[in-house]
Structure 1
Amino acid sequence: MLNIADTLHRWCREARPFALATVVDVRGSAPLPVGTSVAVDEDGDAVGSISGGCVEGAVYELCRQVLRDRAAPQRAWFGYSDDDAFAVGLTCGGELDVLVRRIDPTTEPQIGAALEDMVQGKPTAVAQVVDGPDDLLGVTLSVLGDGVASHGTLDGAETDRAVAAQAVAQLRAGRTARIELGGDADSCPERLSVLFHVHASRPRMLIFGAVDFAASLSQAGKFLGYDVTVCDARPVFATRARFPHADEVVVDWPHRYLERTTVDARTTVCVLTHDAKFDIPLLRLALELPVGYIGAMGSRRTHEERLRCLREQGVAERQLDRLRSPIGLDLGARTPEETAISITAEIIASAHHGSGLPLSQGAGPIHRPTPTPIRSATGRTPVSAGERPGLEESAAS
């Protein structure tokens, strides 16, 4: 539903009933991920897409039917049929499981409240039951990022607490995911499958080194949705005029800034300084933190010398294995703009476990499945650099 949050927010403010069709499971090479939605209002206006066009007509008609008949939530499955190329299905060969339900904003104010928080940029999660008892199918609970405020109820206080705790964990991970919960009397009596629609704060991109490459990388990072910080100890170079796309420009020693700022598992650290007096203390610290990506610019000779210095500083080999250096994928990049694409391509591949190879040289599904989500009600809390995790906790996925 996050893909159409602005329109849904407006419909809720106008107290306009609508049908919401949401992808709740994906198998194979489906074009769009779990949590993607289409909505249709009572006038027949539609917004969103769940398949890039393959099954939109069938989903639209199902939404119209659910609205017209005020029917209970319905499930629909769409796959590919080799026997009939003109059948309603996914030409890409994947499979989609879709939940369609009618929403009346006047009787479900928690949805409007959650959408209000989302459009205001507040971290918010909407928990939607997608499998379980019939009377709970499609029921929602919304939770703010701090876990203190919640709207709606599912199946009593124990269930609500268990779902809210998992919502907070998913917000910390910054990931929309389907989670299996419950089945025990202590936490959540009913066995439920819950889809958490997560609108998290933007992940951070920390760029160290106020060089020309940093200017292009900050622009590319902003385009990808990162909250971008450029940091350099030299005030003559670290200026807002040189980095208009950055959210923040900091004049400080890189390792000192990293020590006092907040990072989490979605943070990327890009070291472009080319200077050992900045690089070594910065990388030594970064490799101790649970950030998602650490890359450093330089030649292969620079990389080998950097590794030698870090080993002398006591950095373990399994920590050094996290360092992407020379930074970026081999695209033959020459200009700062091309180099920024090379770096961001590696960041994307790292986050989604991509190979970095041309798709024409691969086999199997083009769209990779979402990594296995957290299964417990505990999540990794964003940490500030002053909090040192054990090495076993610091490996980034």
Structure 2
Amino acid sequence: MLNIADTLHRWCREARPFALATVVDVSGSAPLPVGTSVAVDADGNAAGSVSGGCVEGAVYELCRQVLHDQGPPQRAWFGYSDDDAFAVGLTCGGEVDVLVQRVDPATDPHLGLALDDIVHDRPTAVAQVVEGPHGMVGRMLCVLADGTASYGTLDGGPTDRVVTAQAGALLRSGRTARAELGGDADTCPDRLTVLVHVAASRPRMLIFGAVDFAAALSRAGRFLGYHVTVCDARPVFATAARFPHADEVVADWPHRYLEQTHVDTRTAVCVLTHDAKFDIPLLRLALDLPVGYVGAMGSRRTHDERLRRLYDAGVTEEQLARLRSPIGLDLGARTPEETAVSITAEIIACASHTSGLPLSRRTGPIHRSAEDLVTSGGSAGR
């Protein structure tokens, strides 16, 4: 539902009832991920998408029906049709499972309150029950960044506590995902499946080195949704005018800035200075932090010398194995813009635990679930 958070927030403020259709499970090459939603109000206005176009008409009609009937939530499954690929179905070959429910903000304000936090960039998780006991499916529980339940309730007891803990963990990781919970009489007697929609702060891209490549990379990072910081120890080069696409430009020694700023497992650290007096203390620190990506620019010769210096500085072999150097994928990039594509492609592959190989050289589904990537060691395509 986060793909249409602004629209839903407005409809909730206007106390406008609507039907909400949410992708709660996917398999194969489904075009949009779990958590994506479309909403339809009583006037027939629609927002969002659940399939990129191929089943929107059928979902729209189901939303109109659920909204009119004011009945319980309904599930609908859409898959590829061998007999008629252009009938209602996914021509990409995937399958999607959609939950459609009626939401009335006037009688149930919890979603509207959570959406207010979300549109104001306050980290929030919305746990939506997609499978479970009768009467609980479709109910939502909202959790704030401190791990406390803020709006809504499921049973007012153990189920709330279990779902709150799971939603809080996913919020800390910044990841929307399904979770199978319950079945334990001591903690949560009912078995249920919740889809936790996570609205977290933007992941960070820290670019060190105020060079032309940094200007192109900051633009690419901003396009991908990163909060981009450019840092350089030289104030004459570290200016907002030179990096208009960066969220912030900092004039400071790179390692000193990294020591003082917040990072997490989604942070990408890109070292473009290729100057040992900056690189070595910076990389020594970065490789000891729980960041998701550390890459450094330079030639093969620069890379070999850098490894030697880092090893001499006490960096372990295990830490050195995390370093992506020379930075980027082998795309034949030469210009700053091409190099930015090469770097961001590697960051995406690293974050999704995939190989970065051409899809034409892979077999199996194009899109893989998080669970599949973990079990396969991250060797799939995009």
**What's the TM-score, normalizing by structure 2?**
0.94
Cα deviations by residue, 1:210-245 (Å, 9 ceiling, x for unpaired): 111111111111111111111111112112221222
The reply to whether residue 231 of structure 1 matches residue 245 of structure 2 is no
Counterpart Cα distance in 2 of 1:86 and 1:38? 21
State the partner residue of 2:60.
60
Name the amino acid aligned to 1:119.
V
Name the amino acid aligned to 2:24.
V
Counterpart Cα distance in 1 of 2:263 and 2:182? 31
How far apart are 1:149 and its partner, in Å? 5.4
Task: Report sequence identity in percent.
Answer: 79
How far apart are 1:355 and its partner, in Å? 2.4
Cα RMSD between the aligned structures? 1.6
| SS of equivalent residue, structure 1 residue 333 | coil
How far apart are 1:86 and its partner, in Å? 4.3
State the partner residue of 1:125.
125
State the partner residue of 1:357.
357
The reply to whether residue 46 of structure 1 matches residue 46 of structure 2 is yes
Alignment of 1:163-182 (within 5 A): 163-182=163-182
Name the CA shift for 1:371/1:218 in 2 (closer, same or farther; >3 Å).
farther
State the partner residue of 2:380.
none
State the partner residue of 1:276.
276
Counterpart Cα distance in 2 of 1:168 and 1:226? 22
Name the amino acid aligned to 2:112.
G
How far apart are 1:6 and its partner, in Å? 0.9
Counterpart Cα distance in 2 of 1:142 and 1:4? 17
Name the CA shift for 1:372/1:169 in 2 (closer, same or farther; >3 Å).
farther
Name the CA shift for 1:302/1:351 in 2 (closer, same or farther; >3 Å).
same
Alignment of 1:207-222 (within 5 A): 207-222=207-222
Counterpart Cα distance in 1 of 2:372 and 2:13? 36
Counterpart Cα distance in 1 of 2:84 and 2:275? 62
The reply to whether residue 184 of structure 1 matches residue 197 of structure 2 is no
Counterpart Cα distance in 2 of 1:200 and 1:210? 28
Name the amino acid aligned to 1:193.
T
State the partner residue of 1:158.
158
State the partner residue of 1:340.
340
How far apart are 1:39 and its partner, in Å? 0.7
State the partner residue of 1:249.
249
Counterpart Cα distance in 2 of 1:315 and 1:371? 32
Unmatched 5+ stretches in structure 2: 375-382
How far apart are 1:371 and its partner, in Å? 4.5
Name the CA shift for 1:86/1:269 in 2 (closer, same or farther; >3 Å).
closer
How far apart are 1:137 and its partner, in Å? 0.4
The reply to whether residue 370 of structure 1 matches residue 370 of structure 2 is yes
Cα deviations by residue, 1:352-394 (Å, 9 ceiling, x for unpaired): 12322232333222222235799xxxxxxxxxxxxxxxxxxxx
Cα deviations by residue, 1:171-214 (Å, 9 ceiling, x for unpaired): 11111100112222343222111100111001011111111111
| SS of equivalent residue, structure 1 residue 156 | coil
Unmatched 5+ stretches in structure 1: 375-397
Counterpart Cα distance in 2 of 1:195 and 1:173? 15
How far apart are 1:303 and its partner, in Å? 0.7
| SS of equivalent residue, structure 2 residue 370 | coil
Q: Quick check: 2:207–2:230 contact (8 Å CA) kept in 1? A: yes
State the partner residue of 1:391.
none
Counterpart Cα distance in 1 of 2:30 and 2:332? 31
Counterpart Cα distance in 2 of 1:272 and 1:298? 8
Number of aligned pairs? 374
Name the amino acid aligned to 2:90.
L
State the partner residue of 1:108.
108
Q: Quick check: 2:132–2:190 contact (8 Å CA) kept in 1? A: yes
State the partner residue of 1:261.
261
Counterpart Cα distance in 2 of 1:304 and 1:134? 62
Q: Quick check: 1:178–1:373 contact (8 Å CA) kept in 2? A: no
Counterpart Cα distance in 2 of 1:52 and 1:236? 46
Counterpart Cα distance in 2 of 1:19 and 1:263? 38
State the partner residue of 2:295.
295
Q: Quick check: 2:149–2:164 contact (8 Å CA) kept in 1? A: no
| SS of equivalent residue, structure 2 residue 135 | helix
Counterpart Cα distance in 1 of 2:182 and 2:307? 47
Q: Quick check: 1:177–1:373 contact (8 Å CA) kept in 2? A: no
Name the amino acid aligned to 1:211.
V
Once the two structures are overlaid, the 10-residue window that deviates more, 34-43 or 84-93, is 84-93
Counterpart Cα distance in 2 of 1:42 and 1:354? 43
Counterpart Cα distance in 2 of 1:345 and 1:18? 39
State the partner residue of 1:88.
88
Name the amino acid aligned to 2:146.
D
Counterpart Cα distance in 1 of 2:162 and 2:369? 26
Name the CA shift for 1:276/1:371 in 2 (closer, same or farther; >3 Å).
farther
